[in-house]
Amino acid sequence: MPRDGSIINTIGDTPLVELKNLDTGVCRLFVKLENQNPTGSIKDRIGLSMVEAAERDGKIEPGGTLIEATAGNTGLGLALVAAQKGYRLILVIPDKMAQEKILHLRSLGAEVRITRSDVGKGHPEYYQDIAAHLNRELPGSFYVDQFANPANPLAHEATTGPEIWAQMDHMLDAVVVGVGSGGTLTGLSRYFARVAPHVEMLLADPQGSVLADVVRTGKIQKEAGSWLIEGIGEDFVPPNCDLSRVRTAYEISDAESFATAREVLRREGILGGSSTGTLVAAALRYCREQRAPKRVVTFVCDSGNKYLTKMYNDYWMFEQGLLEPPPQGNLVDLIVRRYREGGAVTLGTGDSLLQAYRRMKLFDVSQVPVMEGDRVVGIIDESDLLLHVHADPARFGDPVRTAMVTSLETIAPDAPVSALLPIFQRDHVAIVADNAGFVGLITKIDLINYLRKQLG
């Protein structure tokens, strides 16, 4: 099907920029901005190439159905191309993916089936097995299968590689990649093996993935763990993943990945996704290890827009145990939103219930302390609000003081953690206050998060 003048013609030809404000030792580090593809990721390239290869090979009829198992970005690339070319698309997605990706997919017209992310290959609810099953059930459907589809690495061999080589003026020493399906790695390996075999291929792998170990030992020796970085890392070596040109692999933790992605935004102004942190962290390690100056390329594989509520959100980072303010050794350590740091969500007694409602929605909290000066004089939660307005929605205009609860459970910062339990058993939240006034709230989920973090 022709695609002249379509949005899909804007896939690829992404800019390359140098990271100027990070410590790259004696090296120069460049990033290819794949976040500037139309759906915001490197996977638009393979969405296009896999669909067009299937068209060429007669594997899809006009108006036919495409099926894919994907953790998100490939789905977006396919959804864009499918919508433009008039195909139906069914995507099977594990349930750890960012909400924003799923909303984006559905808005593009894809049908999304969510499945479990805590089961592995061979389990009937494993996302790739479900996709294969759907493919068998739906006659004439085409299982795209980025993990084995040769048009995936081909896209990178034919476009990403030549673009990098030209943008670096044919002066390049190393490329740092992550592996999801292995398409990027394999395509670039093939391209550079042909045009510039001296270019080193380096792997950036999330801690928990098995791939770095495979690079070192040649086989899968350890069980996969879990990681929060999206889009890269594997519990198996996909058919499309050729690791043979990779000599060095760097394992990067979630914490280092997120911290690096945040630094890339702060210092370089580039809003990358979580894997950008993994790739840049690995590239920085490589750069700093070098004695001779090298020219190194890595990727901003997707846009950080999809992760604003996660890794770019201090409260989410705090809840995950990834951003720890200096410990105080008391109950303050359990408080996510601290009043004196300006983090607490509060209301005044004269604010309206509509304001209370908006604040609960905006900050995704279900109860809000009501203040007079630095003192908490009440708490309002969803049920207080509901009970007050249910008979007459005009009462959203009433002041918060008319609906708040004033029997409060106050606790000192140096009280033991065990003192929280009786408060929660009475179905209250704990208001932490000292002589100077309000410090912050502790809810049941804060205590649960705190206990979970003790697991390490």
Ligand X SMILES: Cc1ncc(COP(=O)(O)O)c(C=O)c1O
**Where does this chain bind ligand X (CB under 6 A)?**
42-43, 73, 177-185, 231-232, 273, 275, 279, 299, 301-302
Residue type, 321: G
Angle (deg, nearest 10), helices 99-107 and 73-85: 10
SS3 3: coil
- Closest contact distance (angstroms) between CB of 33 and ligand X is 13
Q: Which residues contact 154 (CB under 8 A, 6 or more apart)?
A: 49, 53, 187
Q: Which residues contact 62 (CB under 8 A, 6 or more apart)?
A: 1, 86
- For residue 20, how many other CB atoms are within 10 A of its CB? 10
Calpha distance 381→334 (Å, rounded) = 20
Q: Which residues contact 271 (CB under 8 A, 6 or more apart)?
A: 35, 265, 303, 304, 305
Residue type, 207: Q
Measured from the CB atom, the residue of 242 and 314 that comes closer to ligand X is 242
Look at residues 118, 109, 142, 114 and name the one whose alpha carbon lies nearest to residue 130: 114
Measured from the CB atom, the residue of 38 and 183 that comes closer to ligand X is 183
Catalytic residue among 32, 43, 101, 306: 43
Look at residues 447, 346, 441 and name the one whose alpha carbon lies nearest to residue 400: 346
- Closest contact distance (angstroms) between CB of 229 and ligand X is 8
Measured from the CB atom, the residue of 84 and 276 that comes closer to ligand X is 276
Calpha distance 311→398 (Å, rounded) = 37
| CB of 350 closer than 8 Å to CB of 401 | yes
- Closest contact distance (angstroms) between CB of 6 and ligand X is 23
Measured from the CB atom, the residue of 37 and 184 that comes closer to ligand X is 184
Q: 291: which 2 tokens?
A: 């004695």
DSSP secondary structure string, 75-119? HHHHHHHHHHHT-EEEEEEETTS-HHHHHHHHHTT-EEEEE-SS-
- Closest contact distance (angstroms) between CB of 266 and ligand X is 20
- Closest contact distance (angstroms) between CB of 176 and ligand X is 9
- Closest contact distance (angstroms) between CB of 76 and ligand X is 10
Measured from the CB atom, the residue of 74 and 443 that comes closer to ligand X is 74
Measured from the CB atom, the residue of 47 and 231 that comes closer to ligand X is 231
Residue count (the chain): 456
| CB of 229 closer than 8 Å to CB of 275 | yes
Residue 43 known to be catalytic: yes
- Closest contact distance (angstroms) between CB of 14 and ligand X is 13
Where helices occur in 196-335 by DSSP H, the ranges are 211-217, 254-268, 274-289, 314-319
Measured from the CB atom, the residue of 230 and 446 that comes closer to ligand X is 230
Stated as kind and residue range, the H or E segment containing 252 is strand 246-252
Stated as kind and residue range, the H or E segment containing 204 is strand 200-206
SS3 412: coil
| CB of 275 closer than 8 Å to CB of 302 | yes
Backbone angles phi, psi at 28, to 5 degrees: -115, 130
Calpha distance 456→444 (Å, rounded) = 20
- Closest contact distance (angstroms) between CB of 204 and ligand X is 7
DSSP secondary structure string, 161-203? HHHHHHHTTT---EEEE--SSSHHHHHHHHHHHHH-TT-EEEE
- Closest contact distance (angstroms) between CB of 188 and ligand X is 9
Q: Which value, in Å, is the radius of gyration of the alpha carbons in the chain?
A: 26
Catalytic positions are 43
